[in-house]
Amino acid sequence: MSELIEKLNWRYATKRMNGQSVPQEKLENILEAIKLAPSSAGLQPYNVVVIENKELKEKIYQSAAKQPQIPNSSHLLVFAAWEKITAEQVDKYMNLIASTRNVPLESLAGFQSNINNGILSRSEDVNFDWAARQAYIALGHAVVAAATEDVDATPMEGFDAAKLDEILGLREKGLRSVVILALGYRDGQQDPLMNAKKVRRAHEELFISI
């Protein structure tokens, strides 16, 4: 078994956290893993809100997500997908590629036209769902990175997205929250799931080999 698989077996959806802070270096590695997640066409059509403030976590807990790990997490990461994909965002991305790789913008015309035809032409709803999926790849990266840093991480969907968006002012930024990741440390005394055996479908139920 690889070290990564050991770490992934160690992790679980922590329901009770103990309030301990995740050190800055570990947090930065988790954020870097998010930043390095692949996305369709490389567009990264999402933002991630990083929340450490105690009062804000309490407010989110009370009004949007009554999940007990929230107030005792170290950080909450709110993955927020772009509500729509705009020509301005695509232009900005092209400029980013050109400046990062030191290539003329004109050399990217074919790629830009693929994005225009393939993505900009779709409906806002389709693009929002697509953006949300990309954010979930980044969530997967964050979960693995947290485990390798011995940090507990609990993904959460069961929250009131509209309320959370309001609390964080996301709609004004063209964003909608899609999933939360609580980071912190398991509370060994309080978490009934800490020693529960991991439940996963058997290899032959999950994989179809052809």
Q: Is 152 in the site for a copy of itself (CB under 8 A)?
A: no
Q: Is 3 helix (H, G, I), strand (E, B) or coil?
A: helix
Q: Is 155 in the site for a copy of itself (CB under 8 A)?
A: yes
- In DSSP terms, 51 is beta-bridged to 76
- Tell me the number of residues near a copy of itself by CB under 8 A: 67
Strand locations in 144-203 (E) = 152-156, 175-184
| Candidate list 20, 50, 59, 171; residue touching a copy of itself; CB under 8 A | 50
Q: Is 192 in the site for a copy of itself (CB under 8 A)?
A: no
Q: Is 186 in the site for a copy of itself (CB under 8 A)?
A: no
Nearer to a copy of itself, 106 or 199 (CB): 199
Query: What angle, rounded to 10 degrees, do the helices at 54-63 and 161-168 form?
Result: 150
* Stretch 10-49: interaction string toward a copy of itself, x if CB under 8 A: -x-x---------------x-xxxxxxxx-x-x-x--xxx
CA distances from 119 to 16, 114, 132, 168, 187 (A): 41, 8, 14, 27, 44
Query: What angle, rounded to 10 degrees, do the helices at 3-10 and 124-148 form?
Result: 100
Q: Rounded to whole angstroms, how far apart are CA atoms 77 and 27?
A: 11
Q: Rounded to whole angstroms, how far apart are CA atoms 19 and 187?
A: 8
Least separation in angstroms between CB 190 and a copy of itself: 19
| Candidate list 138, 164, 180, 182; residue touching a copy of itself; CB under 8 A | 138
Structure tokens at 121: 């032409």
Least separation in angstroms between CB 44 and a copy of itself: 6
Query: Which residues here bind a copy of itself, judged by CB under 8 A?
Result: 1-2, 4-5, 8-9, 11, 13, 29, 31-38, 40, 42, 44, 47-53, 56, 96-97, 100-101, 118, 129, 132-134, 136-141, 143-145, 148-149, 155, 157-158, 168, 173, 178-179, 196-201, 203, 206-210
